[in-house]
């Protein structure tokens, strides 16, 4: 087990954990409070499983605001999306 800090520029992802939405979604069969389905429930399940043995904290950072690690992640994501778009 590890202590993990997860930095994200996605308010949706951060708030799912910071505001506890994810636990309600899961309890309600991956439905939001408005009864609409949560998008990508299989990815949320994978994330929960990956985090299950760890202590973790989600930290929201503003995207495209010069945060060095966020900028690095953006560059890596763009490079990978371009790589696979060419296939």
The predicted-structure confidence for 31-53, as pLDDT tens digits, reads as follows: 999 999 999 999 999 999 999 99
59/80 Cα distance (integer angstroms): 24
Q: How confident is the model at residue 87 (pLDDT cuts 50, 70, 90)?
A: low
Domain layout of the chain by residue ranges? 3-85
Query: Which residues, including other chains, have CB under 8 Å from residue 17's CB and lie 6 or more apart?
Result: 56, 58
Q: Say what the pTM is.
A: 0.81
Give, in words, the CATH class of 3-85: alpha beta
């Amino acid at each position: 087990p590890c202590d993990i800090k997860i930095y994200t520029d996605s308010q949706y992802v951060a708030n799912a954990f910071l505001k506890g939405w994810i636990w309600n979604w899961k309890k309600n069969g991956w439905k939001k409070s408005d009864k609409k389905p949560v998008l990508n429930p299989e990815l949320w399940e994978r994330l929960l499983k990956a985090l299950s043995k760890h202590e973790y904290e989600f930290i929201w950072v503003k995207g495209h605001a010069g945060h060095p690690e966020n900028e690095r992640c953006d560059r890596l994501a763009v490079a990978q999306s371009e790589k696979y778009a060419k296939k």
